Amino acid sequence: MTQTILISEVGPRDGLQSINMVMPTEAKKAWIKAEVEAGVSEIEVGSFVPPKLLPQMADTAEIVAYAKTLPGLDVVALIPNLKGAERAIAAGVDKMSIPFSMSETHSIKNVRKDHAAMVSEIRAIAELVAAQPKASRPHFEVGLSTAFGCTIEGPVAEDQVVRLAEATIEAGAAEVGLSDTTGYANPQQVRRLVRKVKAAIGDALLNTLHLHNTRGLGLANVVAGLEEGISTFDASLCGLGGCPFAPGASGNIVTEDLVFMLEAMGLETGIDVEKLLQVREILRQALPDEPLYGFTPDAGLPLGFERAAA
């Protein structure tokens, strides 16, 4: 099991795109800054989608520019297509990720492309990335969404996930991640699919899991991923988020709960959970009508809790 774990905060993108209220730009900046000060080193700050589709993300270029001024932060953005990649590169992101749904029905509803068209799009983006100067070339990851099941199609064949992971790497992506977009995964399934994909594309090309806590299995699935060598986990402060294009998909893993669990297990995250808990106040003030989740914030830290030694 890897001793140092990277937690990628996705709340400013995945969390905010799933709620109706548009968070003020200055509040987003305050949120991101406060998380960096708590030790978070990677944040998905927004997505380069058309504002008419997701007005919550209309200020992403400005947010990226601000986040790039924060020392020690890798700035990540989601892209839906080649045009989004061009905008992300122009904005100066360190890393960009495109969702590639393993459910073809979901892919068509989400980005209006079947699997063959998505592989072609990934290839075009990889070529665009490769054409950039090496010093400013963003890391290009593909998130294999609905990898554990789909609210539209139901079960997704694991062999199909493996085949599309291989096609994604062949098309030029730097790595893939597995996403439980709909909150269907269980620990045994996580172990099995991680092993299959790693066996097909190599251990080094699958490092990330994006898990949801829709049915209360989020942290159990994290432990399963840890046991298979996964070293990066997405999470959302206060548990904000889901997928607006996957009906019934809700409940990102709560960043505060994930940090507490990992640190209590003796794994290093580099994040001060006490400082992280204080960041919730920014969301509480900026999103007064939005429910905020988390067991650790409600219960508090146990007496004598100590962070893992760095």
Q: Give the CATH number for residue 198.
A: 3.20.20.70
What is the average per-residue pLDDT within 13-18?
A: 92
In a domain, 191, yes or no: yes
> For the chain, what is the domain count?
1
pLDDT confidence tier of residue 20, bands split at 50, 70 and 90: confident
Integer Cα distance of 240 and 250 in angstroms:
8
Span 31-81, pLDDT tens digits: 999 999 999 999 999 999 999 999 999 999 999 999 999 999 999 999 999
Domain presence at residue 304: no
Distance CA 193, CA 12 (A): 28
pTM, two decimal places? 0.95
Give the burial class of 298: count Cβ atoms within 10 A of its Cβ; 0-12 exposed, 13-18 middle, 19 or more buried: exposed
The pLDDT of residue 246: 45
- What pLDDT, on a 0 to 100 scale, did the predictor assign at position 110? 81
How many CA atoms does the CB half-sphere of 28 hold within 13 Å? 28
Residue 27 covered by a domain = yes
Whether the per-residue pLDDT at 260 is higher than 90: the answer is yes
Is residue 1 domain-resident?
no
Range of the domain at 243: 6-299
* Active site (catalytic) residues: 243
Asked if residues 64 and 77 have their Cβ atoms less than 8 Å apart, the reply is yes
Whether residue 249 has pLDDT greater than 70: no
State yes or no: pLDDT of 131 exceeds 90. Answer: yes
Strand duo 95-101 + 139-145: pairing: parallel
Mark residue 94 as left, alpha or beta (left: phi above 0; alpha: psi -120 to 50; beta: remaining).
alpha
Identify whether 239 is part of a domain: yes
Q: Which residues of 243-259 are buried (b: 16+ CB within 10 A; e: fewer)?
A: bebbeebbbbbbbbbbb
Residue pair 128/82 in contact (Cβ under 8 Å)? The answer is: yes
Return the top range by mean pLDDT from 7-11, 19-23, 290-294: 7-11
The number of beta carbons lying within 10 Å of the beta carbon of residue 302 is 9
Instruction: Report pLDDT digits (tens) over 82-119.
Output: 999 999 999 999 999 999 999 999 999 888 999 999 99
Q: Which pairs with CB-CB distance under 8 Å and at least 24 residues apart come from 253-256?
A: 253/211, 253/212, 253/213, 253/218, 253/219, 253/222, 254/213, 254/293, 254/294, 254/295, 254/296, 255/7, 255/9, 255/11, 255/40, 256/280, 256/294, 256/296, 256/297
